[in-house]
Each structure stands twice: as C-alpha cells, then as structure tokens.
Amino acid sequence: MTQIPTELSASVYRVRVGYVDTDQGGVVHHGTYFRYLEHARVELMRERGLDYKRFELDDKLGLPVVDASIQYRQPARFDDLIEIKTWIAVANRAKVRFDSVVMRRDVLLTQAAITLACIRLPEGKICSMPASMIALADASVRNLRGVRTT
C-alpha cells in the first residue's frame, strides 16, 4: 500500500497541522489522522465530479466507514505541511476502499486503508454502492457486477 500503484490516479490534499491536533507527546495524536483522511476523500470525490454534500442531500445516501487500517511510521508535528495522497483501491457494489499515504515532503508518515459501505438515509440500511460512486475509481479497480446504473 505504501507505493501508490502506478496505474491508479491519486488525488492530493494538503493540510497544515494545527496546535489542537497535537497531544502532550508533542506530536499529532493518532486519532487526528481520521480527520485529515476524511477531508482527503471528500476532495478526491469533488475533483472527480461527486459533491458529497449533494450525494447525501439529493440521493439520500451516506458512506459510513466500515473498516479502517492505519500504520504510523513517523510522527507529524505542529505546523508541518503535510500531503495526503489518496486513490481508490477497490470499488464494487459492496464497498469502496480509499488508500492513502500521508507524506511530509518525501517522508512517509502514515499509510491507511479506509473502507466505506453505502447506506440509505435516514434509516441507515445498507444498500448497493451507486454507479455514480463506483465511477470515480480507475477502470482497473471498478467492478460493476450487480450495480444498477440507471
């Protein structure tokens, strides 16, 4: 996961580490990365034409996180400018997985794989991932089997 697969397109989200993001260990708290990764996913979607705010409001669908795996290699610190490179590694009717590397220049700080399922709002019932979401993935990782495309 550390290397961005060369055949997949990645989006880049840049963020300045805030004071509030740190803990008394003097580094970014491990839970803070979920904030950065979430911003990175929303921006990847926007870049590829899906406005997540409208997705919830118009399509009455939500994308809850169902699985997260994250490895912390080096700490980020207050005021660091970091880059989160994110790509879609899996996309099918059951789930979409966003993989990310968090970098400070060319130093790998953290890598993560975040898997989202699709639910109908407001009840929260699991449903098929819509074609509009799967379409954001590179063709090589898309699997449209069983997905309604109307």
Site residues for a second copy per CB under 8 A? 16, 18-20, 22-27, 29-31, 34-35, 38-39, 42, 51-53, 62, 64-73, 75, 78-79, 121-122, 124
Least Cβ distance, residue 26 to a second copy (angstroms): 5
The secondary structure of the chain, three-state, reads CCCCCCCCCCEEEEEECCHHHECCCCCECHHHHHHHHHHHHHHHHHHCCCCHHHHHHHHCEECCEEEEEEEECCCCCCCCEEEEEEEEEEECCCCEEEEEEEEECCEEEEEEEEEECEEECCCCEEECCCHHHHCCCCHHHECCCCCCCC
23 flagged as catalytic: yes
Residue tagged active-site, from 23, 51, 67, 79: 23
Q: Which is nearer to a second copy, 81 or 146 (CB)?
A: 81
Q: Which is nearer to a second copy, 61 or 103 (CB)?
A: 61
Q: Which is nearer to a second copy, 22 or 142 (CB)?
A: 22
- What are the catalytic residues? 23
